[in-house]
Amino acid sequence: AQSVTQPDIHITVSEGASLELRCNYSYGATPYLFWYVQSPGQGLQLLLKYFSGDTLVQGIKGFEAEFKRSQSSFNLRKPSVHWSDAAEYFCAVGASNDYKLSFGAGTTVTVRA
């Protein structure tokens, strides 16, 4: 069965600083990987996804993620954080031709001025 671990429960970062959120997955075959963001009081919005090809994936809002098969990781990065990036971030793993997604526990990001 697939599973996802997000080691950091909470991260605080200064506005303008860089951000990296960690995600490790467990899956026997080639995974489909996703990052979702949940702003306060909102549903989940897709930031980016990886299915195949280039291991560096660009998403919305200036985010990118890198798939590293050898480390079973799919870390999310942003070079310069804005106050509006304060939210909870979820990593998820799925499989080809399968509806099921398994989510990590989430990482809450606080942005300080």
Partner 1 sequence: EAQVTQNPRYLITVTGKKLTVTCSQNMNHEYMSWYRQDPGLGLRQIYYSMNVEVTDKGDVPEGYKVSRKEKRNFPLILESPSPNQTSLYFCASSSRLAVRSGANVLTFGAGSRLTVL
Q: Which residues contact 33 (CB under 8 A, 6 or more apart)?
A: 23, 25, 49, 50, 65, 67, 74, 91, 92, 93, 94
Instruction: Work out whether strand 107-112 and strand 10-14 pair parallel, antiparallel, or are unpaired.
Output: parallel
Nearer to partner 1 (CB atom), residue 44 or residue 86: 44
| Per-residue mark of binding to partner 1, 29-68 (x: CB under 8 A) | ---x-x-x----xxxxxx--x-xx----------------
Select the residue interacting with partner 1 from 9, 57, 75, 82 (CB under 8 A).
Answer: 9
Q: Taking CB under 8 A as the rule, which mask of x and - marks residues 63-92 in contact with partner 1?
A: ---------------------------x--
Neighbouring CB atoms inside 10 A of 100's CB total: 10
Question: If you search the block for the tokens 């990590």, which residue do you land on?
Answer: 104
Please tell me the distance from the alpha carbon of residue 79 to that of residue 100, in angstroms, as a whole number: 31
- The interface region with partner 1, picked from 17-25, 61-69, 74-82, 97-105 by CB under 8 A, is 97-105
Positions in the binding site for partner 1 (CB under 8 A): 4, 6, 9, 32, 34, 36, 41-46, 49, 51-52, 90, 94, 96-101, 103-106
